[in-house]
A = this chain, B = another copy of it.
Amino acid sequence: MDIIRPTLLLDKDVCLQNIATMAQKAKDKGLIFRPHFKTHQSAVIGDWFRAYGVTAITVSSVSMAQYFAQNGWDDITIAFPVNILEIEAINALAKDVKLNLLIENLESVQMLTKKITQNVGVFIEIDTGHNRTGIASNKYYGINAMLKVLHANERFDFKGFLSHTGHTYQAQSKQDIYNRHFDALLKMKALKNYYNKDFPNLILSLGDTPSACLCENFNGIDEIRPGNFVFFDLMQYKLGACDFEDIALRLVCPVISRHGSRSEVIIYGGAAHISKDSIINLDGKSLYGQVVVNKNGHKILLDERNYLYKLSQEHGVIRTTIQGFHNFEVGDLVEIIPAHSCLTANLMGEYLTTDGEWIPMMSKDFHRSSAQKPRNA
């Protein structure tokens, strides 16, 4: 198969190995493995998880829950604070599958309890330091207020506490990741101890890929929900969460133009393909991707002095060293290893595996067709 346009290449073997490794780790630690499917957003890739015993999944939107429910998944946690405006879709979904919702503020639970018509599981989201969503673990007053509303409605099955330790992404070292994870773990365990008498079966669920990969201490935790590990990316590599060889995604792009006077190479592949998410390079500038060239039939990973450093909608600009520049010819294909694979995958909308198979993702059309309130739900 000849690639002629920006194409997202997926190394299936690497991807399967990543899934196998994480599934095995969860098994070894006695953890429920409920992978987050927001990274790949693909029913086909989702099915690859079944061989590793996965039966329960995490998603980040009601649309995504609908998509995976239609593709055979029947135990789904929506790990995004409940959006009460989607209540009809939530009720419709909960009719068909075991659905877990996330709450983190009293207003939502109060609105939810008035409108829920089906049985749902409910997690309370704990903010263990990421400071995005969730209630702080020591705000017992607020947690109790939510539990009281849950308790008063038999539709609700309180499942436990869930946290996304997303501040591991800002860590400066592996030790930093261990510390943040351990701090989160202690906060969660304190909750379990506190509520254990009333809820002996409550689940503690933790989420991020860096700590799921790097940490060994999951003492007291019941469930993990990593997502990015399925592909990994430069950010995970920088954090030490994976080896370079574990990165399963590459955006293949045609070389369009070379400008020797400023050591720049222009590729067809821009913000509309790779996304404007970046990491910081050695020179303090934004790095959108590293570059692999094909030289005499051999793939060569160029060092970080040759990197994707500027994006327009369709153009990507690779800054090179003087030597690095000679690796590029107009009409070549180069491979870009993305800074953040989730957003690149979300933009590309499909994968081409190294075996030549096209793998679709949840399409924007899916989102669209359900973007209005169902008329007769």
Chain A residues within 8 Å of B, Cβ to Cβ: 1-5, 7, 38, 60-63, 80-86, 89, 104-105, 107-108, 111, 131-133, 166, 254, 256-259, 262, 266, 268, 271-272, 275-277, 310, 312-315, 317, 329-331, 333, 342-343, 346-350, 358, 363-365, 367-368, 371-373
Contact residue among B82, B262, B277, B363 (Cβ-Cβ distance under 8 Å from A276): B277
Instruction: Name the B residues within 8 Å of A257 (CB-CB).
Output: 81, 104-105, 108, 133
- Known contacts: A4-B372, A331-B85. The answer to whether A313 contacts B132 by CB under 8 A is no
Pairwise interchain contact B256-A133, C-beta atoms closer than 8 A = yes
- Complex-state Cα separation, A330 to B230, whole angstroms: 33
Contacts of A61 in B (CB 8 A): 5, 268, 314
Contact A60 B331 (CB under 8 A): no
Q: Within the assembled complex, what's the spacing in Å between the Cα atoms of A60 and B256?
A: 13
Q: A28 vs B133: C-alpha distance in the bound complex, in angstroms? A: 53
Pair A371/B5 contact, Cβ less than 8 Å: yes
Q: Are A81 and B346 in contact (CB under 8 A)?
A: no
Q: In the assembled complex, which residues on chain B have CB atoms less than 8 Å from the CB atom of A346?
A: 272, 313, 347
Known A-B contacts A85-B254, A258-B105; the reply to A349 vs B372 at CB < 8 A is: no
B residues in contact with A82, CB < 8 Å: 256
